[in-house]
């Protein structure tokens, strides 16, 4: 359960504090300053151009008036025959030529304005294309990241929207419907435990279900207050202790809005586990009016990021795994909670350890959202 659930229910227009390093922040600030300076310069440039255009238009009108006045005087003199111009036919031809030239000049001025407008439009298109190209290049550029307080480094290449949309979402009904069935194996701390039968592929899938005595608002609020400590861990090494949960470095790598982002986890140990996953948050209103919220996590392992990972300090990069948690209103101060997780394992012992770790997580979550109820059980 994460801060995104709170944004989902109570602050849909809130902003998420992006975990950028100092270098990235400085780059963003520098770019914003350049954009601000560019806007000021463009405003000054437009004002200057407008003043120059107004001055030239006034001068053009003045010259047109002078010309029209001269033509009118010339026509008047010709009509009265008060001036000896020699051959009147030649003079008439000159006057007509001047009038035609003035007409062509006006048409030419209109065409020049249209041409300049077209040139400005072409320049703007070129500038937009250049900006989009540079931003796309920046977006697709590999960035070396380091987990906070860790020496494990990795090269992360941001995902495109197409890659995000193509990534399965464990919250989708089609995703869970395609999974093998799980069987009830018992109960622990009041949670019904279901497990998938083991097959030739070493993996562990466990599902925990329970009706918890708290409101959905309380569950969201407490989960937000606890922050990353109440986010599920997809996998952990053998013999890893859940008491070290607060020491796990977490880094936001990329955001696609308030309800979708890429996060990196590193679980320290003799062999550190590292993985990046796509986290999605969703909310629903069921046909009967009850509210439901959910969070899903699925490991992403694109080819480009596989090639860019730098293995330091015996870090092991996890390539598969997913988890989901849903909270559904079940009545007054009651919610139905489902926690479903799957991860590959190194051995059967590792699979059993994962079940224990997941059970510890879900029990700690219940203790956080409904502590008084646990004391009465």
64-85 pLDDT, tens digit per residue, is 888 788 777 777 776 665 545 4
pLDDT value, residue 307 = 52
- Judge if 308 and 195 occupy the same domain: yes
**197: domain range?**
161-369
- In this structure, the answer to whether residues 206 and 266 fall within a common structural domain is yes
For residues 278-303, average pLDDT: 90
Shared domain check, 70 and 188? no
The dihedrals phi and psi of 20, each to the nearest 5 degrees, come to -95, 150
Domain shared by 212 and 353, yes or no: yes
Q: If 0-12 CB within 10 Å is exposed, 13-18 middle and 19+ buried, where does residue 127 land?
A: exposed
Residues 184 and 304 in one domain: yes
Could you identify the residue written with the tokens 């026509």?
75
**pLDDT-based confidence at residue 23 (cuts at 50, 70, 90):** confident
Q: What percent of the chain has pLDDT over 90?
A: 25
Which is more confidently placed, 94 or 2? 94
Which pLDDT belongs to residue 15?
Answer: 41
Provide the 10 A C-beta neighbour count for residue 160: 13
Kindly report each contact of residues 311-316 with a partner whose C-beta sits within 8 Å and lies 24 or more positions away, as own/partner: 312/151, 312/152, 312/153, 313/150, 313/151, 313/152, 313/272, 314/270, 314/271, 314/272, 315/152, 315/266, 315/271, 315/272, 315/273, 315/274, 316/271, 316/272, 316/273, 316/274
Q: Rounded to whole angstroms, how far apart are CA atoms 347 and 352?
A: 9
72-86, 231-245, 275-289: range with lowest mean pLDDT: 72-86
Do 231 and 110 share a structural domain?
A: no
DSSP character string of 105-155: HHHHHHHHHHHHHHHHHHHHHHHHHHHHHHHHHHHTS-EEEE-TT---EEE
If asked whether residues 72 and 170 sit together in one domain, one would say: no
* Structural domain count of the chain: 2
Distances (CA, A) of 233 to 3, 267, 274, 308: 16, 9, 11, 23
Confirm whether 234 is domain-assigned: yes
* pLDDT at 142 (0 to 100): 46
Least confident of 203-212, 260-269, 328-337, 364-373: 364-373
pLDDT tens digits along 82-124:
545 455 666 677 777 777 777 888 888 888 888 888 788 777 7
Look-up: residue for tokens 């350890």?
353
Q: Does 87 map to a domain?
A: no
Confidence of residue 5 (pLDDT cuts 50, 70, 90): very low
Tell me whether residue 39 is in a domain: yes
Q: Is residue 283 part of a domain?
A: yes
pLDDT at 111: 83
Residues 109 and 168 in one domain: no
What integer pLDDT is reported at residue 366 of this predicted model? 92
**338 and 194 share one domain:** yes
pLDDT at 133 over 70: no
- Residue 121 counted as domain residue: no
Residues 165 and 251 both lie in one domain = yes
Quick check: is 317 in a domain?
A: yes
Closest CA to 367 of 184, 186, 190: 190
With left for phi above 0 and alpha for psi between -120 and 50, is residue 149 left, alpha or beta?
left
Quick one: 184 and 288 in the same domain?
yes
pLDDT higher than threshold 50 for residue 138: no
CATH at 267: 3.30.530.20
Same structural domain, 105 and 181: no
Instruction: With respect to residue 204, please indicate whether it lies within any of the assigned structural domains.
Output: yes
Residue 131 has what pLDDT? 58
Average pLDDT over the chain, rounded to whole? 78
């Amino acid at each position: 359960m994460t801060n995104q659930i709170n944004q989902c229910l109570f602050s849909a227009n809130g902003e998420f504090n992006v975990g950028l390093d100092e270098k990235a922040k400085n780059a963003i600030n520098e770019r914003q300053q350049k954009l601000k300076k560019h806007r000021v310069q463009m405003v000054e440039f437009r004002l200057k151009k407008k003043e120059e255009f107004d001055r030239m238009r006034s001068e053009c009108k003045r010259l047109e008036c002078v010309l029209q006045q001269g033509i009118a005087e010339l026509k008047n003199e010709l009509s009265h025959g008060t001036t000896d111009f020699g051959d009147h036919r030649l003079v008439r031809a000159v006057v007509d030529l001047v009038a035609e030239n003035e007409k062509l000049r006006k048409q030419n001025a209109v065409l020049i304005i249209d041409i300049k407008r077209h040139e400005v439009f072409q320049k703007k298109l070129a500038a937009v294309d250049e900006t989009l190209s540079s931003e796309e290049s920046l977006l697709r550029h590999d960035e070396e990241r380091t987990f906070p307080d860790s020496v494990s480094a990795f090269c992360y290449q941001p995902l495109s929207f197409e890659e995000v949309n193509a990534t399965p979402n464990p919250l989708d009904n089609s995703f869970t419907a395609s999974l093998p069935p799980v069987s009830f194996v018992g109960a622990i701390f009041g949670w019904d435990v279901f497990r998938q039968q083991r097959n030739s592929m070493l993996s562990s899938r466990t599902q925990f279900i329970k009706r918890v005595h708290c409101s959905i608002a309380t569950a969201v609020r407490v989960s937000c207050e606890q922050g990353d400590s109440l986010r599920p861990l997809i996998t952990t090494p053998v013999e890893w202790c859940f008491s070290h949960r607060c020491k796990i470095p977490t880094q936001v790598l990329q955001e696609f809005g308030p309800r979708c982002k890429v996060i990196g986890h590193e679980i320290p140990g003799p062999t550190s586990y590292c993985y990046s996953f796509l986290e999605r948050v969703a909310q629903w209103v069921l046909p009967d009016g009850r509210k439901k919220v959910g969070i899903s996590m699925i490991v992403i392992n694109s080819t480009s990021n596989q090639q860019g990972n730098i293995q330091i300090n015996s870090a092991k990069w996890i390539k598969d795994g997913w988890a989901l948690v849903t909270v559904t209103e079940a009545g007054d101060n009651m919610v139905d909670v489902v926690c479903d997780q799957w991860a590959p394992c190194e051995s059967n012992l590792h699979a059993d350890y994962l079940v224990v770790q997941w059970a510890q997580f879900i029990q700690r979550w219940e203790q956080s959202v409904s502590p008084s109820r646990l004391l009465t059980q």
